[in-house]
Structure 1
Amino acid sequence: MHQSPEAFQLAAVSYRSPDAPARFVEALRETGFGVLVDHPIPVDLVEDVYAEWLAFFDSPAKHRYPRDPERQDGYFSHAVSETAKGHSKRDLKEYFHIFPWGRYPGEVSGAARRYRDLAAVVAGELLGWIEDQTPADVRARFSMPLGAMIADSPSSLLRVLRYPPLTGGEEHGAVRAAAHEDINLITLLPASNQSGLQLLAGDGNWMDVPCDFGALVVNVGDMLQEASGGYFRSTTHRVVNPSGEAARMSRISLPLFLQPRPEVVLSERYTAGSYLAERLRELSGRGKEG
């Protein structure tokens, strides 16, 4: 029986389980989020990326790659970080945008690129799960297979994201990531080195997303919501400020935003390109991507 979002508890699903596709897509349907364990992305690769990029963010080298305001690649300091739609305070974070065609720091190894390529393959498989588990009448809305929408997309984005330690001097009301939805098709995110990610449940309460290290978190973006006519919903989520010892530590995360090629038709109203352009205009160029 279809459960209400209020009754649904988000639990990790083993990627290797025979019923993984059904359970994973059920979680996406109920909460907008799914969590996978036993997946093919090596934990040691994620650890390597975390370690060397934490060192990169702690070095002056990051300033050699200032963000390009037009191309939106490179390093984004807190001073040019995002302000979520409906909020007035900038998120407490800094990050580096890696596009397939974009700049990549010479001070780090290619581990982040290897992670991106492997995660993109997994994403294609998960989109196949989603499509296979979607009712035929909803699936008929898709202009092409979901996995084909992201194939060779220049718009898919790996964000290497660092939330610095809290000092106590932060602006009142500022948080690591204010409540928002992602614009893209789906987002893949290996569990961070710290907890803090929460989703807004159907009953209006915030639910912690399981974050055991090695897990892979996947969430629905606005474009999949649009393409599915609302069958899958893009769920509001946030990253809350920690307390105690965790507040004195950096939090790092690696969201991969899977975005269709600009010409891909999402619905009668939008292509992926026109949808993204409209959303960015709504955000006055501040571009809350995830």
Structure 2
Amino acid sequence: MSQVTLEAVDYQADDAKEKFVQSLRETGFGVLKNHPIDQASVQAIYDTWQGWFNQDSATKEHHLYNKGTQDGFFPARISETAKGFTQKDIKEYFHYYPWGQCPATHQPQLDNYYQQTTAFASELLGWIEALSPPDVAARYQEPLSNMINGSDQTLLRVLHYPPLAGDEEAGAIRAAAHEDINLITILPAANEPGLQVQLKDGQWADVPSDFGYLIINIGDMLQEASGGYFPSTSHRVINPKGADMSKSRISLPLFLHPRPDVVLSGRHTAKSYLHERLTELGVI
């Protein structure tokens, strides 16, 4: 394990913007503490959705995902396979969009969090743009924060990593090494550790998982838009050991996606880039 560690940046500090963007530049990840996202609402979502995932499969599959729009429940049997891997990740999840399907009793809770965190993402994208060197900023076809305005593609994923039984497929882990597709991802520290990022030297470093921290990482679309200045780095969720194998893990990433018409580079719009990546992943 690498000795390099990610440090949480105090959102309230005078130099928060600079330290945060520098961390993104160096590792593709930034961690914030004392931020405005309400932690009570995060815990409430963890509790509510743990109960939902504890239901029997037939009940959950009343909300089985729509193939065309990708909203709804994705059971473990059709979970993602990371690019370059053959084993499916050990997880199940629910895709929430404000326009998509959702259990009626759970929708207000998710929508409140979705709106609150999307608004915060606009602020963070403003930080990133403000501290981009002039030659990098010149690549942005429009302000970064504007790219997500009016987008109906931003995705809130409620992830459930079930307890491990010990009979999992050889080599399978909760989330194999991968990069995110979108501009940035915002993730409240989950209720269990396991998230790791791959550093420039190839070694893996634990991402701080203290409850109350907020984890932000660069996605492929921002890497594309910045000409590689901001790196979309590989990350994974490793399997727990010992007594922790019996614990579930809930995770709540919000993937900030631009409007489909946004021009990322001379090669891609957001729509063409997303289609290419989802095809590679076998999702479409």
TM over 0.5: yes
Alpha carbon RMSD of aligned pairs, Å? 1.3
Alignment of 1:52-201 (within 5 A): 52-60=48-56, 61-108=59-106, 110-201=108-199
* Aligned equivalent of 2:211, options 206, 210, 213: 213
Q: What's the secondary structure of 1:110's corresponding residue?
A: helix
* Aligned equivalent of 2:276, options 267, 275, 278: 278
Q: CA deviation at 1:8?
A: 5.8
Q: Within the alignment, does 1:23 sit opposite 2:19 as a pair?
A: yes
Question: Which residue identity is paired with 2:283?
Answer: R
Give the whole-Å Cα distance in 2 for the aligned partners of 1:28 and 1:8. Answer: 14
Asked if 1 retains the 8 angstrom alpha-carbon contact of 2:196 and 2:237, the reply is yes
* Aligned equivalent of 1:232, options 230, 233, 243: 230
Question: Which residue identity is paired with 2:51?
Answer: A
Asked if 2 retains the 8 angstrom alpha-carbon contact of 1:56 and 1:107, the reply is no
Q: CA deviation at 1:230?
A: 0.3
Give the whole-Å Cα distance in 2 for the aligned partners of 1:213 and 1:40. Answer: 14
Q: CA deviation at 1:38?
A: 0.3
Asked if 2 retains the 8 angstrom alpha-carbon contact of 1:31 and 1:201, the reply is yes
Question: Which residue identity is paired with 1:51?
Answer: D
Question: Which residue identity is paired with 2:205?
Answer: M
Q: What's the secondary structure of 2:111's corresponding residue?
A: helix
* Aligned equivalent of 2:267, options 265, 269, 288: 269
Give the whole-Å Cα distance in 2 for the aligned partners of 1:19 and 1:245. Answer: 40
Gaps of 5+ in 2: none
Identical residues among aligned pairs (%): 56
Match of 2:39 in 1: 43
Asked if 2 retains the 8 angstrom alpha-carbon contact of 1:84 and 1:179, the reply is yes
Give the whole-Å Cα distance in 2 for the aligned partners of 1:71 and 1:100. Answer: 12
Give the whole-Å Cα distance in 1 for the aligned partners of 2:212 and 2:47. Answer: 15
Q: CA deviation at 1:35?
A: 0.1
Give the count of matched residue pairs.
281
Give the whole-Å Cα distance in 1 for the aligned partners of 2:40 and 2:234. Answer: 30
Q: CA deviation at 1:270?
A: 0.6
Q: CA deviation at 1:50?
A: 0.2
